[in-house]
Amino acid sequence: MTNKSLVTTFILAGLPHPPQLDTLLFATFLLIYVLSVLGNLLILLVITVDPHLHTPMYFFLTNLSFIDMWFSTVTVPKVLMSLVSPAGGALSFHSCVAQLYSFHFLGSTECFLYTVMSYDRYLAISHPLRYSGLMRGRTCALLATTTWLSGALHSAVQTTLTFRLPYCGPSRIQHYFCDAPPILKLACADTSAVEMVIFINIGVVASGCFLLIVLSYVSIVCSILKIRTSEGRHRAFQTCASHCIVVLCFFVPCVFIYLRPGSKAAVDGVVAVFYTVLTPLLNPVVYTLRNKEVKKALLKLKDKVAYSQDK
């Protein structure tokens, strides 16, 4: 990727806050980050160890946990550095390119993965007798691979469009990570065409995925209402509720930031915290505290660890 940019280093402005809150914000973000990484690692460990969780639903959940673990790692460490050091917000041009690509790669892959997970729940609830035949191991692997490749392609488009423009200065990005909208404001060229293409690109992906998820859940609700026993309906609703919670927490902030006219840097920075920092923590919490199978697997793992220590 070559252009005529004169800027070699970008400066991240970070989250808008009074200086006296540096220590409190550092401790808060560090705690959330550690819990997010440990929580997602625990889910990966439990699902890998317990054979009862080797099903399509939990296969996709391992992909989600892996994404979330790295999704927060792309942004949060830089936020922590900016809170403890005045020079912590400095980022080389190529590091900014890498961060933007990684962010959109993981974010768009997660978007596609939520869609696949909703399709998986639709088949499990609406077509339970055909489910095992439709969602075989090869099919699940193909769906997962497609989400990763689609995310990589989508991110490559975003990154190429953003950094094909020249950047001559200023170099201060009004955000806490390298993202397309605040970076494009620094370009010393007309960005209207690029902004429109990026808007359409993100809009098609986000609205398309969200529409497919909504259609899946409309069909799921219709199928659930046909279940005769109240216990069966409750179990089905509980299974889908976890997915709905994380989908809303991911999509609503994304739509607010990328698909509305006239972005405001301060507001966008605060809203972005929800899906870059809190959602990776929310996923392990929702999928463990609301999931009886995962909680049973955790207890089994705890008993195995205690037994091995006693021996």
pLDDT tens-digit map of 183-223? 999 999 888 888 888 888 888 888 889 899 989 888 888 88
pLDDT score for 127: 87
pLDDT for res 67? 94
Cβ 43 vs Cβ 35: under 8 Å = no
Indicate whether 204 belongs to any domain: yes
Q: What is the pLDDT of residue 3?
A: 54
| Total domains, the chain | 1
Q: What is the pLDDT of residues 51-78, one digit of tens each?
A: 888 889 889 999 999 999 999 999 999 9
Residue 229 has pLDDT above 70, yes or no: yes
Mean pLDDT along residues 20-32: 92
Q: Is residue 178 part of a domain?
A: yes
Domain that holds residue 175: 9-310
288-298 pLDDT, tens digit per residue, is 766 777 777 77
Instruction: Give the model's pLDDT for residue 153.
Output: 95
Residue 147 has pLDDT above 80, yes or no: yes
pLDDT above 90: residue 101: yes
**How many CB atoms neighbour CB 70 within 10 A?**
14
Tell me, yes or no, whether 2 lies in a domain: no
Assess if residue 4 is contained within a domain: no
If we measure between CA atoms, which residue out of 170, 197, 169, 219 comes closest to residue 180? 197
pLDDT of residue 203: 83
Q: Angle at the Cα of 36 (from 251 to 94), degrees rounded to 5?
A: 75
CA nearest neighbour of 265 among 201, 183, 192, 204: 183
**2 pLDDT higher than 60:** no
* Distance in angstroms (rounded) separating the CA atoms of residues 240 and 122: 9
Query: Which amino acid is it at 16?
Result: P
Cβ count within 10 A of residue 202: 24
CATH number at residue 106: 1.20.1070.10
Q: Is residue 3 part of a domain?
A: no
pLDDT classification of 99: cutoffs 50, 70, 90: very high
Question: CB–CB of 282/248 below 8 Å?
Answer: no
Q: 1 lies in a domain? A: no
pLDDT at 306 (0 to 100) = 65
pTM of the model: 0.88
Instruction: Look at residue 248 and tell me if it is in a domain.
Output: yes
Q: For a pLDDT cut of 90, what percent of the chain falls above it?
A: 35
pLDDT at 33 over 90: yes
In a domain, 147, yes or no: yes
Range of weakest confidence among 94-103, 123-132, 151-160: 123-132
